[in-house]
Amino acid sequence: MLVSDFHFDLPEELIAQSPPAIRGSSRMLVFERATGRYHDNFFRNLPQILQPGDLLILNDSRVLPARLYATRARSRQTQHSSPDPTGHIEVLLTQQLAEHEWSALVRPSRKIQAGERLLFHAPNEIEPILAAEILTVGEFGERTLRFSATADFHPILNKIGHMPLPPYIHREDSDADRDRYQTVFSQQPGSAAAPTAGLHFTPEILAQLKQNKVQIETITLHVGLGTFQPVRAEKLEDIRLHAEHYTLAPATAEAINNALREGRRIVAAGTTTTRTLEHCAQVSGSKPLIAHSGKTSIFLSPGHQFKIVSGLLTNFHLPQSTLLMLVSAFAGGGAGRESVLAAYGHAVREKYRFFSYGDCMLLL
């Protein structure tokens, strides 16, 4: 199967540039896996669509203000070198590797080589507030950075960092994005992008779900580099994803084991949740799940047999993306891709809003 098999035409004006005025007011396309049929609905009706006894699992990762702007130091030997006036370097932190080390995407990257020092300034301040050295150079702008030791790295990050809005949102981040590009249930800082299916939930909708006897648990998967790198392979079999950190909590493992044993539906909010759960199923094999942390680079494509997830809430994804391939796999059977692309065609005709700040799709 080819990556190009997952292409669809999307008018630019359907790419949501901002969140809806009211969180939770998004449209929702409900897709029936058994028949391939779909119908229009609204996310606010999710508590009435899910059934008592369903287990809903959310990704509680919290987005870091991970986009930074740096200047190049004139000297590689001195941390306090004068900043280079030639312009700013964009640094997108994608994953923490050690106490002071991070993987990142750097742009423009051609001149930023190993040994280079980058300086980070607070607004209207002359002296840098943070410095980092480039340790390694990878492909497509990938770099490993080591920051100067500081006890207040995350407060500094919150001060000078920007929310890492995706490149298809053609505007600078705003103060409002600090709230809206974050789920209301986020707890564990570490993501370089939002688990966007979770952006639709409000405290009121979560309360309604619980009132309707829908069980809610969480996993953590910190969204990393794979979200920002386009697919460069031509065949699905050649696709390799970057590894991302995840944690399966004891309460969630127990809830999943009980739901599987009792034949209850397990609904994953988002592709990040889905990938984590299906990876955990591979790790455990035929045994019950146990709480643990690890890394996953699992790629779910048509032909995958889902062991845990039986319902999926997800946003509309980019053409030829691994996330669209996951949704096609979940739709099931050899016709999964065709039926999902047909549903996407309907969404385009009905002018649904696409991607991170857009509308959503529920597959059951």
∠ CA 49-54-60, rounded to 5°: 95
Residue 198's nearest CA partner among 228, 231, 221 is 221
Q: Are 209 and 289 part of one and the same domain? A: yes
Residue 81 has pLDDT above 70, yes or no: no
User: Do residues 46 and 84 share a domain?
Assistant: no
Residue 90 sits in which domain range?
A: 67-160
Q: Are both 212 and 93 inside the same structural domain?
A: no
Query: At residue 80, what is the residue type?
Result: H
Question: Lowest mean pLDDT: which of 120-134, 260-274, 315-329?
Answer: 120-134
Q: What is the pLDDT of residue 228?
A: 67
Is the omega angle on the peptide bond into residue 108 within 30 degrees of 0, that is, cis?
yes
The CATH number covering residue 196 comes to 3.40.1780.10
d(CA 102, CA 153): 12
Asked if the model's pLDDT at residue 124 lies above 90, the reply is: no
Q: Residue 148 carries which DSSP code? A: P
Segment 280-336, tens digit of pLDDT: 999 999 999 999 999 999 999 999 999 999 999 999 999 999 999 999 999 986 679
Q: Which of 117, 135, 160 is the last residue of a domain?
A: 160
Phi then psi dihedrals of residue 211, to 5 deg: -65, -30
Find the farthest-apart pair of alpha carbons in the chain and give their distance in angstroms, rounded: 65
Size of the chain in residues: 364
Query: According to DSSP H, which parts of the chain are helical?
Result: 46-49, 153-160, 177-180, 203-211, 250-262, 271-284, 322-331, 336-349
Closest to 312 (Cα-Cα) out of 359, 355, 274: 274
Q: Are residues 186 and 305 in the same domain?
A: yes
How large is the average pLDDT for residues 335-347? 95
Last-in-domain residue among 129, 160, 191: 160
pLDDT of residue 333: 61
192, pLDDT greater than 60: yes
Q: Is residue 171 part of a domain?
A: no
